[in-house]
Amino acid sequence: MTQAAISDDTILSVRSLSVGFGRGASAVTALRDVSFSLARGRTLALVGESGSGKSVTSLALMGLLPPSGRIRSGELLFRERAGRVIDLARLDAPGFRGLRGPGISMIFQEPMSSLNPLFTIGDQIGEMLLLHEDLSATARHKRVIEMLELVEIPGAAARVDAYPHQLSGGMRQRVMIAMGLICHPALLIADEPTTALDVTIQAQILDLMRRLQKDLGMSILFITHDMGVVAEMADDVAVMYAGAVVEQAGVLALFDDTRHPYTQGLLSSIPRAGLGPDNRLVPIAGTVPSLAVLPPGCTFAPRCPHSQPACRQPVRLEEKAPGHRSACIFDMAGVA
């Protein structure tokens, strides 16, 4: 535990986080010097391709790294609703069990594999209350139904006794949101919560999350690879590549004045209406490098159309404009 200084309006401050897997010759560094912060009541999107380190970051925050993984260095400073600041990197297992639910909660990517098929959704949502609040069975059952109504599941009183396989994908995702919010957490981590849903249901889930965020006064760490979802959900954005943050800015600044070639590549690959022969999708060349054998200097340089010999030198995340940081030796403002 710590009383390390973070500003009063900051709920989460990740500082120089490094996470590794394995030991000895087989050791791999999955996260390298990751830093970002999240303010109260705001949404920060962590963006990047598969393998960029987004989910590992969330698992570190939740204390759910597999046995082969460990935090090698850094601080994960979290402010509880009561105002106490704790370092999650140094929190033990009992501490995390008390924190998950009322402090930090998480919505996982695939609800069908996250929900237990042998228990009703009411039992699974109510388990959070059983762990963290002293309620009678009747009061717990009533609270679960109220939560199902809050996430707009029709016929909540009847659905509370349903099993996961009896619900549609959209309703299962709403159950996951209800489970995550039943203890009114200060911070909600949403790991690709709409990936498996069609666009209509996705829009409904995003609208629901925005409304609940406003009603409950919580902060959201939203993990996604979909820049369209980022534009709709986020206040701030941290772009990750090969285990490191390469650009961080407010969402409008990121889209209007991109400062890193990787982010420019992500934006250029977004499907848009009215694409013509002179306005094609531009894929990012190459593939994400192996974390076991990273290129020297800028890890994006082998795929970057602006790469120069100087890019083989070490590069750090630096401020290029007020509130806008980029890990590129060049000032890419205005460069398409």
pLDDT of the residue at 300 = 95
Query: 296 in the Ramachandran plot: left (φ > 0), alpha (ψ -120 to 50) or beta?
Result: beta
pLDDT of the residue at 93 = 92
CA dist., res. 162 & res. 46, Å (int): 34
Angle between helices 137-150 and 169-181 (to 10 degrees): 120
CA dist., res. 31 & res. 53, Å (int): 6
Kindly tell me the burial class for residue 296, based on how many C-beta atoms sit within 10 Å of its own C-beta (0-12, 13-18, 19 or more).
Answer: exposed
Kindly tell me the burial class for residue 272, based on how many C-beta atoms sit within 10 Å of its own C-beta (0-12, 13-18, 19 or more).
Answer: exposed
CA dist., res. 201 & res. 181, Å (int): 19
pLDDT of the residue at 17 = 97
pLDDT of the residue at 277 = 59
Q: Which two tokens stand for residue 23?
A: 């030991």
Residues 199-206: what's their mean pLDDT?
86
b/e per residue, 176-201, with b = 16+ CB within 10 A?
Answer: bbbbbbbbebbbbbbbbbbebbeeeb
pLDDT of the residue at 194 = 80
pLDDT of the residue at 8 = 86
Q: Which two tokens stand for residue 129?
A: 């209350």
pLDDT of the residue at 119 = 94
Q: Could you tell me which residues come within 8 angstroms of residue 106 by beta carbon, excluding any fewer than 6 positions away?
A: 58, 62, 100, 180, 188, 189, 190, 191
pLDDT of the residue at 308 = 93
Chain segment 177-198, per-residue pLDDT in tens: 899 889 889 999 999 888 767 8
pLDDT of the residue at 23 = 86
Chain segment 255-310, per-residue pLDDT in tens: 999 999 999 999 887 776 665 556 667 788 888 899 989 999 999 999 999 999 99
Q: Average pLDDT over the chain, rounded to whole? A: 89
The alpha carbon of 70 is separated from its chain's Cα centroid by a whole number of angstroms, namely: 19
Contact 79, 56 (CB under 8 A): no
CA dist., res. 36 & res. 302, Å (int): 26
Chain segment 69-110, per-residue pLDDT in tens: 999 999 999 998 888 999 999 999 999 999 998 899 998 877
pLDDT of the residue at 133 = 86
pTM, entire model? 0.90
Contact 223, 199 (CB under 8 A): no
To the nearest whole percent, how much of the chain has pLDDT over 90? 62
Q: Could you tell me which residues come within 8 angstroms of residue 163 by beta carbon, excluding any fewer than 6 positions away?
A: 117, 118, 119, 120, 121
Chain segment 122-167, per-residue pLDDT in tens: 999 998 888 888 889 999 999 999 999 988 899 999 999 999 999 9
pLDDT of the residue at 1 = 43
